[in-house]
Amino acid sequence: MRRLGFVVNPIAGMGGRVGLKGTDGKVEEARARGAEMRAPDRAGEMLTELADTGAEVTLYTWGGLMGEAEAVEHGFDPEVLGRPEREQTTPEDTRRAVRAFLEADLDLVLFVGGDGTAADVAETIADAGGDLPILGVPAGVKVYSAVFAVTPEAAAHVAVSFDSTERAEVNDIDEDEYREGEVHTELRALATVPVAPQRQGGKQLSGGTVEGLAEGFAEDVEPGRTYILGPGGTLGTIKEKLGIDGTALGVDVYRDGEVLVSDGAADDIAAVLGERNTVVVSPIGGQGFIFGRGNQQISPEIIRNSEIEIVASRRKLEDIGALRVDTGDEALDESLRGWQRVRVGRYETRLMEVL
């Protein structure tokens, strides 16, 4: 039995089809232009599919158009935990609903809306010190965050089938700037989300995914830790963020702002290892190898004495499907196989299987 929180932002997406590029602060103007509510229909699509899965679920929701009406219309008998205080709903209504969900000890919060709604949900959970998983049913004009299912129907299937979670970014943009042609994303929160291929990746602007993950890596560098930086374009961007002139096709070693080895061989690298070491690699595009192709300088001895961090753009991961290893040491290869986290954004990771 899955215990699901279900909340709808009924005004989400109203500004899209009437050319407002969003609804924040523009609800009355959207209505004046003839806009109709979109979120309830998207909620209905998800609920229809949820019923069709045949899974046993209990819905906990908020009153009226914030979930109750759609749930009842689609044959559910929801537990209504509260109601909006006025006809025109506000972000605080969403936050009140989420606080009630936290007290109800649920398995997942399904919310219907856009990035603003995602931020309201994720920030409320974070403020409470909680770790309740969330999943968005896309209904907003802008959906830049990585916490949404690709479709309402996909959200239903993920909600009843997921068995693991990961962290994902909630990004939002300033809609007034957006209307003027300026697009700047702001990280609003990190949220716990189901691991599922039916969940969309986040859109990262102002430099793109590789730029974002490189900035995140640079921010997380630890004093005293030795970093063995492999070859490739992604690692090249990381080296730039660290302020070093790295070798594009070679392996460099970095610690505390200093390049210890440039374009090193295995013996050179092994000679400067410290007490805490991290090997940083990116899979080869089209193949997925993280060890044994183009970075043989990172020997089995080095790998055994180091933690491993894998970095890659989302697009590269989509193209390769899985990761591979071929170090020449079968026992080591076997120890590396299984599920590994891959940094794909400033804060976001994806689980990928090493075959």
- Which tens digit of pLDDT belongs to each residue from 44-103? 999 999 999 999 999 999 999 999 999 999 999 999 999 998 888 899 999 999 999 999
**Helix then strand then coil, % of the chain, to nearest 5:** 35, 25, 40
Distances (CA, A) of 171 to 120, 150, 181, 277, 313: 11, 16, 18, 32, 17
Looking at the predicted structure, is the pLDDT value of residue 38 above 80? Answer: no
Top-confidence residue, 128 or 210: 128
- C-alpha 129/C-alpha 132 separation (Å) is 10
For the chain, the C-alpha Rg in angstroms (whole number) is 23
Supply 173's token pair. 């943009």
- The CATH architecture to which 208-354 belongs is 3-Layer(aba) Sandwich (3.40)
Confidence tier at 214 by pLDDT (50, 70, 90): very high
Extents of the domains making up the chain:
2-194, 208-354
pLDDT of residue 290 exceeding 60: yes
**Does residue 39 contact residue 9 with C-beta atoms inside 8 Å?**
yes
- The predicted structure's pLDDT at residue 199: 84
Q: Whose CA is closest to 6, among 50, 55, 53, 36? A: 50
Q: Which two tokens stand for residue 90?
A: 């506000």
pTM exceeding the 0.85 threshold for the entire prediction:
no
Tokens of 292: 């044994």
| End-to-end CA separation in angstroms for the chain | 33
**Contact at 8 Å (CB) between 260 and 254?**
yes
Give every CB contact of residue 15 below 8 A, 6+ residues apart in sequence: 21, 22, 23, 26, 29, 30, 35, 141
